[in-house]
Amino acid sequence: MSAALLLPALLLDATLGEPKWLWDRFPHPAVLMGRAVDYADRRLNHGTARRKKGILAMLVLGLGAWILGVIIAAIPDFGVLEVIAAAILLAQRSLVDHVRAVADGLRTSLAEGRRAVSMIVGRDTATMDTPAVTRAAIESAAENLSDGVIAPAFWFLILGLPGLMLYKITNTADSMIGHRTPRHEAFGWAAARFDDVLNWIPARITAILIAVSHMQFEAGPILRDAPLHRSPNAGWPEAAMAVVLNISLSGPRSYHGKMQDFPWVWAEGGRTPGPDQIDAACSALWRAWGLMLLVTAVAASI
């Protein structure tokens, strides 16, 4: 049943994306989730026992998201609301649009490229050159294909809408409080660890989808380079994307004014990518999505 509902949800998201006219008038569900996380952060993240408070916050947020998913799924409407909710919480079309905007910006000027990429990455962008802007956009494309498309679809298939809701609140919490900063290292520990668990399988599925959709069946380079990433999961789609595009990703970058000397992923690849490679990455996103759509269609027919 979940596959039969996921199929139209994938198509609806790919067709409509995130209509500006709608979300200018109403808060997006992801925004509402963010407000819930922010409320928990402001109310609980102080004093002592912050890790325990963070665990409690995730239990409450996760349970609330799960119950909301159960309620929506129980409405006798032949799954219409489930399809709509899933389509809203998937992000294929919006991801491609945001990544492609970086290529369009670079074709106008480096400043426009920096401005566009600053919308989708958290690293410092003010001094980036064209290859650095390009790598940032492509890395974001690969990682968010997993976080924003494959993982939500996976948990919808496995646990229905409650599973998708649980994943999204966890991923939202990780993006907001799952950082190793003085304020959030303890309180955000549960969000970060739970997000790692929920993304473990989807991240590796994403790497497979990217590789197979490009007829890349040599797994050695991906297996070698994926563990180089500081994240236990993000390295998998990033390594697959680097290999199929034949460009080096990751490498040194700056956060909050401090250079971080991260290792190169697919160091053998080109080091001077530009907007054409971003276009190729967008095509890769659609190819991986298309393969997932095919797999979902087969599952729905069984």
User: Angle 151-177/2-16 helices, nearest 10 degrees?
Assistant: 60
pLDDT band at 267 (very low <50, low <70, confident <90, very high): very high
Give the burial string for 194-208 (b: 16+ CB within 10 Å, else e).
Answer: bbbebbeebbbbbbb
pLDDT tens by residue, 183-194: 999 999 999 999
- Per DSSP, helices labelled H in 121-226 are 130-145, 151-177, 189-213, 220-225
SS3 6: helix
* DSSP state for residue 76 in the 8-state scheme: S
* DSSP state for residue 150 in the 8-state scheme: I
Burial category of 1 from C-beta neighbours within 10 Å (exposed 0-12, middle 13-18, buried 19 and up): exposed
Asked if pLDDT for residue 302 goes beyond 90, the answer is no
Angle CA 294–10–134, to nearest 5: 90
- CA separation for the pair 299, 56 (Å, rounded): 37
As a whole number, mean pLDDT of residues 57-65 equals 98
pLDDT tens by residue, 122-133: 899 999 999 999
pLDDT of residue 256: 81
Asked if pLDDT for residue 1 goes beyond 80, the answer is no
Q: Which two tokens mark 247?
A: 């460009």
Question: Rounded to 5 degrees, what are φ and ψ at 266?
Answer: 55, 65
Say which residue, 9 or 253, is predicted with more confidence.
9
* DSSP state for residue 270 in the 8-state scheme: B
pLDDT tens by residue, 133-155: 999 999 999 999 999 999 999 99
Across all residues in the chain, what is the average pLDDT? 96
Asked if pLDDT for residue 237 goes beyond 90, the answer is yes
Our CA dihedral for 121, 185, 256, 248, rounded to 10 degrees, sits at -50
- CA separation for the pair 155, 153 (Å, rounded): 6
